[in-house]
């Protein structure tokens, strides 16, 4: 069996892995994991990742979790362009610098609007307005830091070329856009970065990857999102409880 990727394209890190593999022509077998239907906590998937998280990679007998680790593994194993994860030590360190900040300030913050507007109501939970406003303030702070610290006057986040950092950032920022929070509005520098990045990736690939998430509000309005499986409730409640 060749490379297998376990993904749900509602997930930001899963989309980053999917785009990277497709853009670089890496052959893989897509193993869809439907979070809503409880497949994350199924016996079969627990043998792939007992942390019950996607994305996950299986390459023969080798199994790997965590999106950053998977992206680095793919960029190192396959003949991908050097700009993604440069061999130059300092250029590579800049990517790790961003990814460290990303884990603290972006991951877990920009996904909150989807939870407040779509996912939490599916299980009858409604977040207090003060939490919603606190999250928006946190996103605004992070966007300003993203521009001032990383993007600055460069074409991309760590320099003049696309890297893994840009891909991870884009997918997180798409999440609130999908539920009507246009965080690019009034930020011409960030908007230009997004346009350059999507042009590089190719609009067909972006549309293919983002189709599911960008239609999420319409699906919710038309009640086309399946009710989460009961076994998923504890994980959803835990995620909601961690929203500051």
Q: What is the pLDDT of residue 173?
A: 98
Structure tokens at 120: 């939490």
Q: What is the pLDDT of residue 2?
A: 92
pLDDT in tens, 18-73: 999 999 999 999 999 998 888 988 888 989 999 889 999 999 999 999 999 999 99
Q: What is the pLDDT of residue 41?
A: 86
Which regions in the chain score pLDDT beneath 50? none
pTM, 2 dp: 0.96
DSSP the chain: --EEEEE-TTSHHHHHHHHHHHHTT---EEEE--TTTTGGGSHHHHTT-TT--S-EEEETTEEEESHHHHHHHHHHHTT--TTTS-SSHHHHHHHHHHHHHHHHHTTTTTTHHHIIIIIHHHTT----HHHHHHHHHHHHHHHHHIIIIIITTSSBTTBSS--HHHHHHHHHHHHHHTTT--TTTT-HHHHHHHHHHHHHH-HHHHHHHHHHHHTHHHHHHTT-SPPPPGGGHHHHHHHHHT--
CB 55, CB 13: distance < 8 Å? yes
Question: CA separation (Å) from 221 to 131, 197, 227?
Answer: 23, 31, 13
Q: What is the pLDDT of residue 179?
A: 96
Among residues 5, 41, 1, 21, which one has the least CA distance to residue 208?
21
Q: What is the pLDDT of residue 89?
A: 98
Q: What is the pLDDT of residue 8?
A: 96
Q: What is the pLDDT of residue 96?
A: 98
Q: What is the pLDDT of residue 123?
A: 94
Q: What crossing angle do the helices spanning 12-23 and 67-77 adopt, rounded to 10°?
A: 10
């Amino acid at each position: 069996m060749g490379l297998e990727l376990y993904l749900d394209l509602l997930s930001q890190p899963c989309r980053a892995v999917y785009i990277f593999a497709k853009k670089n022509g890496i052959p893989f077998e897509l193993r869809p994991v439907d979070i809503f239907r409880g497949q994350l906590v199924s016996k079969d998937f627990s043998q792939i990742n007992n942390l019950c998280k996607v994305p996950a990679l299986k390459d023969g007998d080798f199994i790997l979790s965590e999106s950053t680790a998977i992206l680095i593994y793919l960029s190192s194993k396959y003949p991908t362009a050097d700009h993604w994860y440069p061999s130059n030590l300092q250029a590579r360190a800049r990517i790790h610098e961003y990814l460290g900040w990303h884990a603290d300030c972006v991951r877990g913050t920009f996904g909150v609007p989807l939870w407040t507007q779509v996912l939490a109501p599916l299980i009858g939970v409604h977040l207090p307005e003060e939490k919603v406003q606190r999250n928006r303030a946190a996103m605004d702070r992070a966007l300003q830091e993203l521009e001032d610290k990383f993007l600055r006057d460069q074409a991309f986040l760590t320099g003049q070329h696309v890297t893994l950092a840009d891909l991870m950032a884009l997918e997180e920022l798409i999440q609130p856009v999908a539920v009507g929070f246009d965080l690019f509005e009034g930020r011409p520098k960030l908007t230009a970065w997004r346009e350059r990045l999507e042009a590089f990736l190719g609009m067909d690939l972006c549309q293919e990857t983002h189709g599911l998430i960008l239609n999420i509000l319409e699906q919710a309005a038309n009640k086309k999102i399946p009710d989460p499986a009961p076994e998923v409730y504890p994980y959803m409640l835990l995620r909601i409880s961690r929203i500051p």
